[in-house]
Structure 1
């Protein structure tokens, strides 16, 4: 794995969801740690350039809901737009709905688009895009729009208890 980009300690690292992610990484003997990224970065492409990795190695996260009001967590590559109907077909669900801001916050303690799959009070069934697998390092949201953590695909599956899924 490449070295972690330098960052300074700012209040982002004191956000409860980010703290929970950092604690989970330690508790689970993960290789990476939470890194703060500049607030001036806009979107996954700029984040990938900042981290020095391909866009496909940057993960996006989403909380989805089934018709029966069960929730699940999805981690996809930034190059694979999450299409809920396609994923519903893969998971043999009649329909999946994206969580709104309030739902994501309630389930993860994070805002929409920055949800971490780690440190959740109530872990969710997690599905991880196989498009992330070829990359030696994967960068995942850590509970705040300006915080990420580095991991490997196999480690991400272990950390989340996730299931590989083909999203595209």
Structure 2
């Protein structure tokens, strides 16, 4: 990790403002290397893969809504379980993600979206005292307790991942 002198990217500024508005005690941190994947984030931070709160975006078919699933980095999202909560979903391409969330893939934060998403938090994140989420840019992350995800997003904690191997 490093501290940069240059101004923070716009997406990181939005996330920082949202965290500050909700009195979250930890602001985004910039990493030296990109953390576009959960594994890259875990390696950069020196944490377990499961401690990465990855953001997975889907597109709800009925109304074109953004569906955000925040899941543990060591788990695979089960689309059928997601559909049981939100209805039929499809894949979201990079253009959809950027235009609807305001973030590029690899930097999608669980907060400060351009369009409020339908959000689900996977219960597997509760295994950890601290998790790390993307903060609006592939080089930016912030720490939080998994229960803080509920407070910051208003989302339910549910089972939306495949069983552990």
Verify same fold: TM over 0.5. Answer: yes
Cα RMSD between the aligned structures?
1.9
Are residues 19 and 42 of structure 1, via their aligned partners in 2, closer, same or farther at CA, if it must alter by over 3 Å?
closer
> Given the alignment, which residue of 105, 112, 128 partners 2:105?
112
> Given the alignment, which residue of 61, 79, 83 partners 1:88?
83
> Given the alignment, which residue of 156, 160, 165 partners 2:153?
160
Q: Tell me, yes or no, if the aligned pair for 1:37 and 1:146 is still in contact at 8 Å.
A: yes
Deviates more, 1:70-79 or 1:40-49: 40-49
How far apart, CA to CA, are the structure 2 residues paired with 1:162 and 1:92?
12
After TM superposition, the runs of 4+ consecutive aligned structure 1 residues lying more than 3 A away are 40-43
Structure 2 equivalent of residue 129 of structure 1:
122
Provide TM-score, normalisation by structure 1: 0.85
The answer for unaligned runs of 5 or more in structure 1 is 1-5
Are residues 49 and 113 of structure 1, via their aligned partners in 2, closer, same or farther at CA, if it must alter by over 3 Å?
closer
CA drift of 1:125 comes to 2.0
The answer for unaligned runs of 5 or more in structure 2 is none
SS of match in other structure, 2:98 = helix
Alignment of 1:1-168 (within 5 A): 6-9=1-4, 11=6, 14-39=8-33, 43-68=37-62, 69-89=64-84, 91=85, 93=87, 95-168=88-161
Q: Please list the CA deviations of residues 22-63 of structure 1 after superposition, one character each: whole Å capped at 9, or x if unmatched.
A: 111111001211011122667423422332321101011122
Provide TM-score, normalisation by structure 2: 0.87
How far apart, CA to CA, are the structure 2 residues paired with 1:19 and 1:30?
14
What is the number of equivalent residue pairs in this alignment?
A: 160
SS of match in other structure, 2:129 = coil
CA drift of 1:82 comes to 1.8
Q: Tell me, yes or no, if the aligned pair for 1:100 and 1:112 is still in contact at 8 Å.
A: no
Q: Please list the CA deviations of residues 95-146 of structure 1 after superposition, one character each: whole Å capped at 9, or x if unmatched.
A: 2112111111011111113211212233212111111112111100111111
